[in-house]
């Protein structure tokens, strides 16, 4: 597949981009008077906002993108956020959306791992126990059905020891599901969702482990304890139970014409009513709040220290190999393992040294999503880009027959290339200083 940079652009494309660059310049200058205002995507957008003319043009000018963007069966939603800096390098965020629809359900899959890792670090801080950190040995017990234990074990290998920090690395580097389950249990179902609502995400629902547990079992979470290397207990958390079940804020959610269960096809839609739910604006804004904490109101900021933010940044952009995390040094975990929005999932591609992508991905039940921040030192540009689409031609849920590799990942890769190319030419009154995104993270 050729990228826009490899293909000769048409005269129509050149004229169109030139026109849009001129319009963007005017909009950028107009925005300079409002730099103190942060655009809160999930609060200020209508439930079905009009498509951005700019994003609509960029999608339809590229035949490879247009084929998916104009076909409603792919249920495409996109948020492309331009970032403009002032003379002091302070950012303003201007979102452009395509087919964004808060009433259209998509399964967030591993996107839910980002709020779980962030809130786990926050919970450690809120314990106010200096002996309990992300490096402290964590043990998980059992108290209800569908729970699995992780008993205390002395740290023979620090990269494989059960700690909050190692669980987070596993989740962000290769999207590990078992690590997610351990931190979901550490947080507890109700405290997790109540905190998301406090942060300004009242429609988010994180209610399931990534395991075949029923709704009631997911409301019960395991007892947790933290220990010294010698086995002394530093903190003990009893098993938790959410007495009031959660359901989707969209009401009953049915998808597909059929679904597979127990090895057979059932001719009924799959019921996502009690499944995880995370609107695209919410996860986009959460990523922004982690990378640009001062861009959100103080009440919506996480209780994280500077070292926590540095830790999250490190593993949001690192590839499995460059992370130095020993469990992922094998060839199985290639550089582009979870950077769909620029590399697809091509094992032969290496991450460019002039481009850093901080992101979280999701892939399940035919839904494919990537939520990312791009820092491009070559062109001195930056932007946020979030997209989700549904690639399930037979419309049967859980049969494993999805078009991730043939349609979904190539589309996301091409989309990232298209937006990066446009951003490389977009006029700015002030070029961003991206030093903080390319400097080595100091993590203690």
Residue spans per domain, the chain? 11-107+278-438, 110-271
Q: What pLDDT does residue 16 have?
A: 55
Residue-level pLDDT at 41 = 41
Residue 442 contacts by C-beta under 8 Å, 6 or more apart in sequence? 307, 310
Looking at residue 19, its pLDDT comes to 52
Cα–Cα distance between 428 and 444 in angstroms, integer?
A: 36
DSSP for 125-156, please give it: HHTT-TT--TTSEEEE---STT---B-----S
Q: Distance between CA 76 and CA 59 in Å, rounded?
A: 11
pLDDT of residue 143: 98
Structure-token pair, residue 40: 């809160």
What is the pLDDT, as a whole number, of residue 7?
41
**Binned average pLDDT, 10 residues per bin, the chain of 444 residues:** 43 50 46 37 53 97 97 98 98 98 96 98 98 97 98 90 97 97 98 98 97 97 97 98 93 97 95 97 98 95 97 95 87 89 89 94 98 97 98 97 97 98 96 94 69
Cα separation, 114 vs 312, whole angstroms:
9
Distance of CA 260 to the CA centre of its chain: 27
pLDDT recorded at residue 45 = 43
381 DSSP β-pair partners: 376
Cα(362)–Cα(383) distance, integer angstroms = 20
As a whole number of Å, the end-to-end CA separation of the chain is 42
């Amino acid at each position: 597949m050729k990228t826009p940079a490899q293909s000769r652009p048409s005269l129509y494309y050149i004229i169109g981009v030139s026109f849009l660059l001129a319009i963007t310049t005017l909009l950028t200058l107009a925005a300079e008077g409002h730099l103190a205002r942060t655009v809160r995507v999930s609060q200020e957008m209508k439930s079905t906002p009009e498509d951005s003319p700019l994003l609509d043009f960029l999608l339809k000018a590229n035949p490879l993108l247009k084929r998916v963007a104009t076909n409603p069966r792919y249920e495409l939603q996109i948020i492309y956020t331009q970032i403009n800096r002032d003379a002091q390098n302070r950012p303003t965020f201007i979102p452009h959306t395509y087919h964004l629809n808060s009433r259209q359900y998509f399964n967030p899959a591993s996107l839910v791992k980002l709020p779980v890792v962030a809130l786990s670090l926050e919970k450690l801080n809120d314990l106010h126990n200096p002996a309990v950190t992300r490096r402290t040995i964590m043990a998980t017990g059992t108290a209800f059905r569908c729970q699995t234990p992780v008993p205390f074990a002395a740290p023979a290998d620090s990269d494989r020891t059960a700690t909050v920090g190692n669980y987070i690395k596993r989740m962000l580097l290769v999207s590990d599901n078992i690590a997610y389950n351990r931190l979901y249990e550490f947080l507890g179902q109700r405290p997790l969702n109540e905190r998301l609502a406090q942060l300004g995400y009242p429609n988010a629902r994180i209610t399931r482990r990534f395991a075949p547990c029923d709704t009631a079992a997911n409301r019960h979470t395991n007892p947790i304890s933290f220990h010294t290397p010698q086995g002394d207990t530093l903190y003990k958390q009893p098993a938790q139970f959410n007495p009031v079940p959660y359901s989707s804020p969209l009401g009953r959610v049915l998808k597909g014409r059929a679904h597979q269960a127990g090895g057979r096809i059932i001719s009924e839609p799959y019921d996502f009513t009690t499944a995880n739910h995370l609107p695209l604006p919410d996860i986009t804004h959460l990523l922004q709040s982690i990378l640009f904490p001062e861009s959100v109101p103080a009440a919506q900021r996480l209780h994280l220290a500077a070292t926590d933010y540095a830790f999250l940044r490190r593993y949001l952009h690192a590839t499995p190999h460059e992370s130095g995390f020993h469990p992922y040094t094998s060839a199985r975990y290639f550089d582009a393992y979870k950077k769909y929005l620029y590399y697809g999932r091509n094992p032969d591609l290496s991450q460019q040294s002039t481009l850093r992508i901080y992101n979280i991905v999701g892939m399940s039940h035919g839904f494919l999503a990537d939520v990312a921040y791009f820092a491009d030192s070559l062109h001195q540009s930056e932007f946020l880009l979030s997209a989700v689409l549904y690639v399930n031609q037979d419309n049967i849920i859980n049969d494993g027959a999805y078009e991730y590799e043939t349609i979904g990942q190539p589309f996301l890769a091409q989309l990232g290339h298209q937006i990066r190319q446009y951003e490389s030419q977009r006029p700015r009154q002030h070029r961003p200083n991206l030093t903080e995104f390319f400097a080595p993270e100091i993590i203690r």
